[in-house]
Amino acid sequence: MSTAANNLGPTSSVVALCGGVGGAKLALGLNRLIGDRLTVVVNTGDDFEHLGLHISPDIDTVMYTLSGLSDLERGWGRADETWNFMASLEQLGGAAWFRLGDRDLAMHIERTRAMRGGASLTDFTSSMARKLGISATILPMSDHRVETVVDTDDGQLPFQEYFVRLQCKPVLKHLTFRNAASAVATPAVLQSLRDPDLAAVIVCPSNPYLSIDPILAVPGIRDALDKIAAPIIAVSPLIAGQAVKGPTAKIMAELGVPADSISIARHYPFLSGLVLDEADRKDAGKIDLPTHVTQTLMKSVDDRDRLAAACLEFASALATKE
Amino acid sequence: MSTAANNLGPTSSVVALCGGVGGAKLALGLNRLIGDRLTVVVNTGDDFEHLGLHISPDIDTVMYTLSGLSDLERGWGRADETWNFMASLEQLGGAAWFRLGDRDLAMHIERTRAMRGGASLTDFTSSMARKLGISATILPMSDHRVETVVDTDDGQLPFQEYFVRLQCKPVLKHLTFRNAASAVATPAVLQSLRDPDLAAVIVCPSNPYLSIDPILAVPGIRDALDKIAAPIIAVSPLIAGQAVKGPTAKIMAELGVPADSISIARHYPFLSGLVLDEADRKDAGKIDLPTHVTQTLMKSVDDRDRLAAACLEFASALATKE
């Protein structure tokens, strides 16, 4: 593993684009390998105000995962969580469809307080990551509120209505990233992508439509990616046509796109290479890009380390070729 | 007990003026005896914004006490409480000096959300009391923010700084009820005090300086009390020169007032009678008012019922005399 990290060179940096659970697993592996040389740019299209609190689900998943606080069984939220706030909220007739654990709540309350006091989401996230002892830099994709809105056969739905309350059951027809046109990428995100020592950009195995596209919709980010000399690789979130978790395959079917890694490669036109699962080895030949075939399912922490190392090695090999 | 309640007449109403823990105990007894004929007007001078949340400590103590949710051991907050939010907040570097339990937090979040949405504190409290199945009407003393500020030998302190963070240690020199001059009593409070069927006003055994004086400072309330035909009685919060809980005796000493029930009687110039403890029977003759001597310490729920009944009977006897 240290080989992969050492291949980078002592000042080289890596940027990962990441959504929630699946992406955070790979970000953890990268964080373990290269620590403070890693910047994770996280989707905030899922952010919403709920109970008067600013909730940033993917940022929190990444922070909890990288700090070792996440619940590995549940896949979201914190370990050793309790739910007495929710029980009490239900008793008082409050909205209980979006579950907030007692420990998790501290993050939302601190974030809301800090942001009402004028802190940007970037500032707040940076401060919390430091408090939690995380080596990597975690950056929201934007400090503007870009909101993912889902057009479905049940009408237009705010993201969390679709994702949590309706559990992705409505048929997705189209996605809109509201306010994207008027948003701007933060100086921190642009700086990470323009770093002369940037060795690789890794698109984590997150949902391309719900988690990565919102990041790409922020003006300035796609443009910066197009100008990057370093390899940009993605890890396909599909294994044998299925996502490990979440509605990626269902959404692809609804959008009339074959649910395979060939489609993933096409989805990201800026890629230098694609990492795909052994189960999809047959697809490698049909992809018009360098590919790396490996086990992409991350069950253990070792799996996360191993896939992170494979990504760094693959990117390093692509850089050498260029 | 039903005698005391029946003495009232089927449509008679009673208003209690109340602070937190000590007062709420008597309010519980009254609620058990006369239910929806009781209106509790509660101090909100202790209210403050903390962590971006609107906290109303005395209102919550009264609501939790009357709904059976309060922690009888601790004296404040909810029973079966957990503290994982606080632990997590501390971990994130948040302000942990004011302890908010996981269950309790739901009330503050709902209140903050409702009030940001335009609800008055009166509306919100009424809605929560109904949700919690409380028979009595619970009213904040005002919908305006009247804030108790404590002048001490350590300077001027916001109430919760003095009360919770510094545990009432600084020597109190003067109290200010900030914004009282520009506040107004709510229609609901004035209506309760002007009810033609009002049979008694009971000043609960709360801290006269910190809990009752803020209520009396709200323009309109003192005036309404002065015009009331029904008896106004107080229960002395002192037993043998000591408060059951809290800094009443300490504050009286600091203000140069003897810490006895004679001073309590003088403190409320509008009283028709005073209820004092058996330990202070010797003071009864020195008080220029009708007195009723009984056991005022409320350890059990029976004690609460018994003292509530004694208050109603005493008021009823005073009304007959008038």
The 3-state secondary structure of chain A reads CHHHHHHCCCCCEEEEEECCHHHHHHHHHHHHHHHHHEEEEECCCCCEEECCEEECHHHHHHHHHHCCCECCCCCCCECCCCCHHHHHHHHCCCCCCCCCCHHHHHHHHHHHHHHHCCCCHHHHHHHHHHHCCCCCEEEECECCCCEEEEEECCEEEEHHHHHHHCCCCCCEEEEEEECCCCCCECHHHHHHHCCCCEEEEEECCCCHHHHHHHHHHCCCHHHHHHCCCCCEEEECCEECCEECCCCHHHHHHHCCCCCCHHHHHHHCCCCCEEEEEHHHHHHHCCCCCCEEEECCCCCCHHHHHHHHHHHHHHHHHHHHHC
And the tokens for B252? 């009286």
Q: What is the distance, to the nearest Å, from the Cα of residue A145 to the centroid of all Cα atoms in its chain? A: 17
Strand B53-55 vs strand A137-140: parallel, antiparallel, or unpaired? unpaired
Closest Cβ–Cβ partner in A51, A81, A85 for B113 = A51
Interface test with B, best of A56, A85, A115 (most B CBs within 10 A): A85
Q: Which of A52, A104, A105 sits opposite B116 (nearest CB)?
A: A52
For A80, nearest residue in chain B (alpha carbons): B84
Give the list of residues 6+ apart from residue A87 with CB closer than 8 angstroms, or none.
B103
User: Residue A92 is nearest to which of B80, B94, B128, comparing CB atoms?
Assistant: B128
Size of chain A in residues: 322
Q: Is residue B285 part of a domain?
A: yes
d(CA B158, CA B181): 18
A94 at B interface, C-beta within 8 A: yes
Residue B309 near residue B3 (C-beta atoms within 8 A): yes
Taking the CA of residue A36 and the nearest CA in chain B, the distance in Å comes to 20
Model pLDDT, residue A1: 44
For A81, the closest chain B residue by CA position comes to B84
pLDDT at A140 over 60: yes
- Residue B1: the pLDDT is 44
Check CB contact of A133 with chain B, cutoff 8 Å.
Answer: no
| Candidates A89, A103, A109; nearest CB to B52 | A109
- Asked if residue B90 is part of any domain, the answer here is no
CB atoms within 10 A of CB B290: 17
Name the token pair of A70: 């996440």
Segment A228-273, tens digit of pLDDT: 999 999 999 999 999 988 899 999 999 999 999 999 999 999 999 9
Pair B50, B98: CB distance under 8 Å:
yes
What's the N-to-C CA distance of chain B in angstroms? 24
* Cα(B314)–Cα(B294) distance, integer angstroms: 11
How many domains does chain B contain in total?
1
CA distance B43 to B66: 16
Average pLDDT, chain A: 95
Interchain pair B103, A112: CB under 8 A: no
Spell out which residues of chain A touch residue B132, defining contact as CB-CB under 8 Å: 91-92
Is A312:A33 a contact under the CB 8 Å cutoff? yes
Q: Residue B297 belongs to a domain with what CATH number? A: 3.40.50.10680
> What integer pLDDT is reported at residue A73 of this predicted model?
79
Residue of B92, B102, B128 lying closest to A110 (CB–CB): B92
Q: Are the beta carbons of A122 and A140 closer than 8 angstroms?
A: yes
Instruction: Tell me if B111 is assigned to some domain.
Output: no
What's the pLDDT score for residue A245? 87
SS (H, E, C) B180-241: CCCCCECHHHHHHHHCCCEEEEEECCCCHHHHHHHHHHCCCHHHHHHCCCCCEEEECCEECC
Q: How far apart are CA A79 and CA A68, in angstroms?
A: 9
Compute the nearest-CA separation of B69 from chain A (Å). Answer: 11
Q: How many A/B residue pairs have CB atoms within 8 Å?
A: 98
CA B62/CA B59 separation, integer angstroms: 5
Query: pLDDT tens-digit profile of A180-239?
Result: 999 999 999 999 999 999 999 999 999 999 999 999 999 999 999 999 999 999 999 999
Closest CB to A93: pick one of B51, B87, B131. B131
**Given CB atoms, is A98 within the 8 Å cutoff of chain B?**
no
- Whether residue B283 lies inside any domain: the answer is yes
pLDDT above 70 covers what percent of chain A? 98
Q: Decide if A106 is inside a domain.
A: no
Residue B151, domain member (yes or no): yes
pLDDT band at A310 (very low <50, low <70, confident <90, very high): very high
The answer to whether B228 contacts chain A (CB < 8 Å) is: no
Give the distance from residue A101's alpha carbon to the nearest chain B alpha carbon, in angstroms.
8
Length in residues, chain B: 322
Burial class (CB within 10 angstroms; exposed 0-12, middle 13-18, buried 19+) of B153: exposed
- Cα-Cα-Cα-Cα torsion A98, B93, A15, A217, nearest 10 degrees, comes to 40
Closest residue to B106, CB basis, from A80, A85, A127: A85
Residue with tokens 């501290």: A106
User: Do residue B82 and residue A84 have CB atoms under 8 angstroms apart?
Assistant: yes
The pLDDT of residue A4 is: 60
Query: Does A12 score more than 60 pLDDT?
Result: yes
- Using a CB-CB cut-off of 8 Å, the residues of chain A touching B86 are 106
A78 touches chain B (CB under 8 A): yes
- List pLDDT tens digits, range A58-94: 999 999 999 999 988 787 899 999 999 999 999 999 9
A11 near B CB under 8 A: no
A47-65 per-position pLDDT tens digit: 999 999 999 999 999 999 9
Neighbour-count burial for B264-287, b at 16+ CB within 10 Å, e otherwise: bbebbeebbbbbbbebbeebbeeb
What is the model's pLDDT at position B21? 84
Provide the ipTM: 0.92
Residue A110 and residue B94: Cβ atoms within 8 Å?
A: yes
Q: Does residue B69 lie within any of the structural domains?
A: no
User: Do the Cβ atoms of B85 and A87 come within 8 Å?
Assistant: no
Strand order in the sheet with A147-152: A155-158, A147-152, A172-178
Nearest Cβ partner of B105 from A85, A107, A110?
A85
Q: Is residue B11 part of a domain?
A: yes
Write the CA distances from A314 to A5, A294, A307, B171, integer angstroms: 12, 11, 10, 70
Q: Is the pLDDT of residue A316 over 50?
A: yes
Chain A: residue nearest B94 by CA? A110
pLDDT of residue A228: 95
- Tell me the residue range of the domain where A264 lies: 2-49+142-321
Contacts of B104 in chain A (CB under 8 A): 88
Q: Are strands B155-158 and B232-235 parallel, antiparallel or unpaired?
A: unpaired
Chain B residues in contact with A132 by the CB 8 A cut-off are 91-92
B210 interfaces chain A, CB cutoff of 8 Å = no
**Cβ partners under 8 Å of residue A98, min gap 6:** A50, A55, A160, A164, A165
* Angstrom distance (rounded) from CA B315 to CA B306: 14
pLDDT, one tens digit for every residue, chain B (322 residues)? 445 665 677 889 999 999 988 899 999 999 999 999 999 999 999 999 999 999 999 999 999 999 999 988 787 899 999 999 999 999 999 999 999 999 999 999 999 999 999 999 999 999 999 999 999 999 999 999 999 999 999 999 999 999 999 999 999 999 999 999 999 999 999 999 999 999 999 999 999 999 999 999 999 999 999 999 999 999 999 999 999 888 999 999 999 999 999 999 999 999 999 999 999 999 999 999 999 999 999 999 999 999 999 999 999 999 987 5
Cross-chain residue pair B106–A128, CB shorter than 8 Å: no
Inform me whether the C-beta atom of residue A84 falls under 8 Å from chain B C-beta atoms.
yes
Strand partners, B178: B147
Interchain contact A95–B (C-beta under 8 A): no
